[in-house]
Structure 1
Amino acid sequence: MHRFRPPRADLLLALAQTTVAVLLGQESVAQGRPALDLLGYALIGLVNLPGAFRTRAPVAVCLLVHAAWIVFITAGYWPVANSFGPMLAVYTVASLRPLRASAACTVLMGAIWVYAGLLDPRSSMPAVVAQALVWPAALWRFGVVARRSAKLARRLRAEQEERARREVGEERGRIARELHDVVAHHMSVISVQSGLAQFVFESDPPTARAALATIAGTSAEAMEEMRRMLRLLRAPDERDGVGVPDAPMPGLARLAEMVERVRAGGVPVELRVSGAERPLAPGVELCAYRVVQEALTNVLKHAPGAPTVVELRYGVHQVTVSVTNADPATGEGAIPARVPSGTGHGLIGMRERAKLYGGTISIGPHGGAGGYEVRLDLPTSPRAVRPEDDRTR
């Protein structure tokens, strides 16, 4: 069973208030009031000690404190000696509860203040009324400001947590795309080559050895990319070899290696490059590389025998890569003409990459030849790519 315990800070504050009230009560005789007796000390405790539970039940504590304060004042004791408990109670209600409840508690404190002045014939009522208006109103205002500040802090904290969750989700999506692109492509090549090696192992040993060599090279490249990804995901102080730069991300310069690897898998692939070759931003090159990689992976899966053309065109302000699978005889293609929304991690990854770098991608039938084409257009001008997106990811 849960025990109703006061917060430690509130308990210490209540004890401190009680001590201060007792010390101030020693001045009662000097103020022309009766000295504290057993009843006076008991009322001091009843006014101040409930403050230990002020954050748990602020309105109930405020009402109890003010009721005890009325008894303390009516008994003729010096009101000021026991005023800190009611003040703190009003502030707490204003800082934790809606305006209606806090306003009622504020009015209650002001009324009791005026009541204490009426009981003392030596009091100046204009001064008492002014104090009854100013002090409760000031406490109420401070409490309302604290409540609004706490509400704003909670909202900011919630927004930060939501932003953190969104960033984690985006990072997971990025990692998933990278893993899919790396693993799917290399495993497709390995699967095709292993099948070829098994088929010709006895009848054509040289071809089998070439397939095994391709498998070895592909697996080594896959391991290299996986290690690079892990280095990027680890914290800087956890990386192996502090100060040693990571291996470069794949770029357009490695398209020829990819095409050769796919060609070794039995797909007649041709690479065509046009325009003035030039280095591009690393993020743009990686985006184009991954799209070509995914398209060729689909060629290996869905149309391994169809002639395929990979074309890279450098424009003035953009770069275009396309993977065209045009087989008039069969009409088979690497990408289906219609892709159901939300399916296919590879297709989603292509579109997300293109969107990230301000590019456009089209996937569908290629002309009237019966094949299919994946075409990516990426801007290369500085204004087209945001600096924060142009980092090696």
Structure 2
Amino acid sequence: MNASLRFPRAVRRWFPAHRTQVFDIAVAAVTTGVEMGLMFEDAAPVAPAPALLALAGGAALLVRRHAPEAVLAFTCTIAAVLTVVGHHHPGGAPPLVALFTVAELRERRASLLALAATAVFLTAAGISAAPVAAGAWALGAYAQTRRRYTLALEERADHLERERTQLSLIAAHQERTAIARELHDIVAHSVTVTLLGVRGARDVLRTAPDLADDTLARVETNAEQSIAEMRRMLLALREPGRQEAALHPQPSLDQLAELVATYDAAGLPAHLEVSGHRRPLGGGVELSAYRIVEEALTNALKHARATRVAVHVGFGRTHLEVSVVNDGGHRSPPADSPPVADERPSRPARSPGVTPLPATGHGLVGMRERVAVLGGELDVRPEPDGGFRIAARLPIGGAA
């Protein structure tokens, strides 16, 4: 039972790889059979020579795909010999199959020349009429056209598959970049505010415990908000259809005042100014503007010795202008520089003698990516008076 099942399975595996050879053998056998049948129609006995010639003409069809012109000439020669010696009147099947092969495998001009020569020969020898030869050629030409069409479809399918793969890779890369940018903005803001808040609270823990307690409470609130925002983003990535993710909208310009107040409380004197007609913006403009301001404030808090930071958001007719300018430059202070005292006792100062956190450069890269996606412009440069300026100009369309 198992052996009988294994045999058909082996045949099914072998046949697709040898389909062409099997077909050629079948064509040669059928063509030879037709010639031999015509030969034995008469009651007179058939001589060995004509039978061997007929067998040779049929066997030549086994190599018709490798040398179609030679096979056509060989089969026509055999038919001519059989006609001249008068031992047998050939049916012309081998030359017609060979002509079909020439039309299928060769260029149109070469196959037309072969058609003309074969039609003249078959008609002159009284073997077959010219329309029959033309029909065999037409079938071969159709087979060639069909094969080329199928090949073109396969090549196009392969091209589309490669293109789809490339687009998928590009989309995955863009998605990873967007996720990395968003995570950087969230984590950098949260960690910076938390770290500096804890340092400030530690400095006044013994001298002003109530102020230290208020600072730690703000740090706790900021950390909880950051964790909630990261959970919302991860939930949206894992399950895009979850309603819980939609219940926590992305930050917008409405939260800028709260954001600036957070940094002001962390020890970075910041002021927000909004000009122009405030209106809702779409296409990720509000989120990008919020993140740009957040990253610029984070950079000022980590890398600059600023005593004042001005945040400006201007709603124009076609563009949104966002700028964050600090007066402290964008560099680490010398190790022996005196600490900058905070003039306002109601807010803990940054820890004396603590060098600003080192810059990684990912924040500016993220800002440039956000602006580039929206088709805007980003200006990052030091100010003439020693400060540092980050400004973005984002297109928002016509007036609402």
TM-score normalised per structure 2: 0.68
Other-structure match for 1:370: 386
Change (3 A) 1:41 1:157: farther
- Give CA deviations for 1:262-288 in whole Å, capped at 9, x if unaligned: 122211111222233222225110111
Give the unaligned 5+ runs of structure 2. Answer: 1-11, 83-89, 333-359
RMSD: 4.4
**Counterpart position of 2:297:** 296
% identical equivalent positions: 31
Alignment partner, residue 181 of structure 2: 177
CA distance in 1, matches of 2:66, 2:109: 8
Question: Is the contact between residue 102 and residue 111 of structure 2 (CA under 8 Å) also seen in structure 1?
Answer: no
Query: Which of 115, 124, 127 lines up with 2:128 in the alignment?
Result: 124
Offset of residue 117 of structure 1 = 6.0
Residue 280 (str. 1) matches residue 287 (str. 2): no
* Residue 196 to residue 86, structure 1, CA distance change in 2 (3 Å): farther
Matched with 2:350 is: none
- For 1:1-393, what aligned pairs fall within 5 Å after superposition? 8-12=15-19, 14-15=21-22, 18=25, 22=29, 27-28=34-35, 31-32=38-39, 62-63=65-66, 74=78, 80=93, 91=104, 102-103=106-107, 107=111, 110=114, 114=118, 121-124=125-128, 126-127=130-131, 130-131=134-135, 133-234=137-238, 236=240, 239-240=241-242, 245-281=246-282, 283-326=284-327, 331-333=328-330, 344-366=361-383, 368-381=384-397
Q: 1:130 to 1:178 in 2, by over 3 A?
A: same
The amino acid that maps onto 1:369 is D
| Alpha-carbon separation, structure 1, partners of 2:381 and 2:277 | 28
Deviation of 1:289 after TM superposition, in Å, equals 0.4
Report the Cα distance in structure 2 between the residues aligned to 1:214 and 1:47, rounded to whole angstroms. 91
Q: Which moved more, 1:177-186 or 1:80-89?
A: 80-89
* CA distance in structure 1 between the aligned counterparts of 2:34 and 2:55, rounded to whole angstroms: 14
| Residue-by-residue CA offset, 1:208-244 (whole Å, 9 max, x unaligned) | 32332233222222222222222332354xx545x87
Q: Is the 8 A contact 2:311 2:325 kept in 1?
A: yes
TM score, norm. by length of structure 1:
0.69
1: CA distance, partners of 2:65 / 2:32:
21
- How far is 1:107 from its partner? 4.7
Q: Contact between 1:308 and 1:324, CA under 8 Å: does it hold in 2?
A: yes
Distance, in Å, in 2 between the alignment partners of 1:30 and 1:120 is: 23
Distance across 1 between alignment mates of 2:61 and 2:140: 17
Q: Which amino acid aligns with 2:191?
A: M
1:155 & 1:132 partners in 2: Cα distance? 35
Give the C-alpha shift of residue 307 in structure 1: 1.1
Q: CA distance change for structure 1 residues 45 and 22 in 2, over 3 Å: closer, same or farther?
A: same
Partners of 1:181 and 1:46 in 2: how far apart? 77
2: CA distance, partners of 1:199 / 1:84: 100
What is the CA–CA distance in structure 2 between the aligned matches of 1:33 and 1:170, rounded to whole Å?
76
State the Cα distance separating 1:135 from its structure 2 match: 4.1
User: Is contact 1:269-1:310 (8 Å) kept?
Assistant: yes
* SS at 1:309 equivalent: strand
Shift of 1:158: 2.9
* One-letter amino acid matched to 2:66: L
**1:141/1:23 CA distance change after superposition, 3 Å:** closer
C-alpha distance in 2 between matches for 1:347 and 1:107: 67
Q: Is the 8 A contact 1:364 1:373 kept in 2?
A: yes
Q: CA deviation at 1:313?
A: 2.1
Match of 1:56 in 2: none
2:363, 2:98 → 1: CA distance?
Answer: 67
Residues 314, 88 of structure 1: alpha-carbon distance in 2 compared, 3 angstrom cutoff: same
Other-structure match for 2:351: none
Shift of 1:21: 6.1
1:362-386: CA deviation from partner (whole Å, max 9, x where unpaired)? 11133x43212111222222699xx
Could you tell me which runs of 5 or more consecutive residues in structure 1 were left unpaired when the two chains were aligned: 51-60, 95-101, 336-342, 385-393
